[in-house]
Structure 1
């Protein structure tokens, strides 16, 4: 079989790439090793933060583009993909001032409120210092987003094949590669690899990727004590030098996931793992520290009700994404636990790379190999 593009990996980024390529009239086959809706990788779950709290202009440009694309997808599908409940950022106020300045330059609405006002507005949370509130942020309906991306991609001619592991990718030249599965060989001008935790296993010997570290993360859902309380999404950084935060493993992120509870988690500090040999069991010391965080900072939840979730992060050293092309191979990797909000814009960048248009320099894998 010959096609324009094979996409390897059917999570958020692969689905978005297939969607964008199909919109451009390319013949596209997406191959996913697991069944649809599996919980083995990084894209499953009902919600993700939609967060614009970046100070870096290239990230702000990408998330602003993503917002428009999310809205367009939602309109096309007749559904809602973003819940703009707002996002409260607190801790490390010096960094938040940098974010606010970057927002002002880009015309992104955000403003500081005092810890007292924040506590009165959101009594389920505790605050120590000023809070940067971003009203046009909130959460992405992640599971629904995957469904909509696939539906739109298929409506424009893409084909999605699940339970189809890729066994080999053979590069035949700058404009030709062969993708091998158990049942077929597909020849393509480009192969987009969005394989998450399996990226290095699949193409690490063929392209000069930066080091990608796979960790098993364990956020948890906590049961709200009062179901009528309002909850913004949130990011909470430890205050530099404050001994009260010494037990923290990292900044904390979270959001209300309807019907599941308030999700909260450490960021990118889980045990390093092989994606094919995961335990799916929470690391008990980190989980107890997360419960302690909930007791101290989330008074609106039952801290002992924690239901751990298991997912993978695939992280670069500086948490920047890898979006690059090497001959016929286009790589999207290293989304480091903060990529989902950007999904439709990442799909556009990957489709551009297929068409020979460079990604923003920050995301060049070659510059960090």
Structure 2
């Protein structure tokens, strides 16, 4: 039987960031991950993620401000570039909404501007615009795979121990409320446990905590990498988000779209949260033909710089709450981080700080707390 200050269950982005923040404060910790290092079975794999800065809510914007500083700190400590500040363009929504977002950004020291569609098209000829565009300069893309590696290495350098291929068979609370963690090899009795298990969250949390959780919806999403057309090889690519207008084609065209350049792989494009509900242990990883066809038609219409017929489909999971707000809270000795999919990765180091603080009794912002 092993004893340690904190056990983190799940070594994806949020678990690794929590480990880094816990190790920085001198806590002894073990990170348990059921899959091998570098696996592609969850939500943290892949080369890139968007890092936008367009939230009207003050609590999210405060997290973003902190996140930018922490990404920079990680880059300096590791000597590794993690953020490409290529900007983000957002379009397809009413200009009044873009103005509101711009004003919130400016109030938080974020550089942004609103452009007419023809001006945006002249700057970024690989994309098509028919409505005003919010261009956020202090934004871009995260080198996700590199970020995951750097977080783990920085945490390990401070004493954290990562154990891969180590599934948790049970997380229980003893009669005093202390966590008891069973693996195939041993039983761990830490003072605190942090659950950052992504799509497996509801399979891990004790029953006493599950009742306080909002419903977590796990879906299989299927973005794709589209090849850049030869005559757009010199095009400048910001990251992008669009809200297509409702039409008569299919339901996917009413869903938000996101994308970014992934160097060496093409232009990553995906619908936001339209995948089928799945059990993460029983996924088929196959592209759904109707959804993939809709994505190809979107690229054909809105991304002239990409080839809709030259693509590689991707499979990943989303784990979301009904509101799409994160869950960051603690009950007794169990701290929980969940519901990050779709817009969480950009916040990774700040979420790790919040989760580490929760183990010390420092509460998270009200928005992210469990039901009473």
For normalisation by structure 1, the TM-score amounts to 0.97
Q: What is the deviation of 1:201?
A: 1.1
* Cα distance in 2, alignment partners of residues 269 and 247 from structure 1: 7
Q: Which runs of 5+ in 2 are unaligned?
A: none
* Cα distance in 2, alignment partners of residues 189 and 182 from structure 1: 20
Return the match for 1:330 from 327, 335, 354: 335
Return the match for 1:224 from 225, 228, 250: 228
Per-residue deviation, residues 165-211 of structure 1 (Å, max 9, x unmatched): 00011112666211110001111111000000000111162312110
Per-residue deviation, residues 218-247 of structure 1 (Å, max 9, x unmatched): 0000000122111000011124x6668865
Give 1:234's aligned residue.
240
Give 1:303's aligned residue.
308
Return the match for 2:273 from 268, 283, 289: 268
Is it true that 1:345 corresponds to 2:346 in the alignment? no
* Cα distance in 2, alignment partners of residues 335 and 348 from structure 1: 15
* Cα distance in 2, alignment partners of residues 123 and 48 from structure 1: 22
* Cα distance in 1, alignment partners of residues 192 and 292 from structure 2: 42
Return the match for 2:127 from 118, 125, 128: 125
Relative to structure 1, the CA distance from residue 145 to residue 247 in structure 2 (aligned partners, 3 Å threshold; closer, same or farther) is closer
Per-residue deviation, residues 63-101 of structure 1 (Å, max 9, x unmatched): 110110000000000010000001011111232222112
Give 1:29's aligned residue.
30
- Please show how residues 1-369 of structure 1 align to structure 2 within 5 Å: 1-93=2-94, 94-172=96-174, 176-203=178-205, 205-207=207-209, 208-225=212-229, 226-239=232-245, 248-366=253-371
* Cα distance in 2, alignment partners of residues 122 and 228 from structure 1: 10
* Cα distance in 1, alignment partners of residues 163 and 50 from structure 2: 28
* Cα distance in 1, alignment partners of residues 167 and 249 from structure 2: 47
* Cα distance in 1, alignment partners of residues 307 and 208 from structure 2: 49
Q: What is the deviation of 1:337?
A: 1.4
Q: What is the deviation of 1:306?
A: 2.2
SS in 2 for 1:358: coil
Relative to structure 1, the CA distance from residue 12 to residue 156 in structure 2 (aligned partners, 3 Å threshold; closer, same or farther) is same
Per-residue deviation, residues 41-82 of structure 1 (Å, max 9, x unmatched): 000000000111111111110011011000000000001000
Deviates more, 1:48-57 or 1:90-99: 90-99
CA contact (8 A) 2:247 2:253 kept: no
* Cα distance in 1, alignment partners of residues 364 and 109 from structure 2: 24
SS in 2 for 1:73: helix
* Cα distance in 2, alignment partners of residues 132 and 246 from structure 1: 25
* Cα distance in 1, alignment partners of residues 152 and 67 from structure 2: 17
* Cα distance in 1, alignment partners of residues 338 and 175 from structure 2: 22
* Cα distance in 1, alignment partners of residues 341 and 366 from structure 2: 18
SS in 1 for 2:171: strand
Q: Which runs of 5+ in 1 are unaligned?
A: none
CA contact (8 A) 2:243 2:254 kept: no
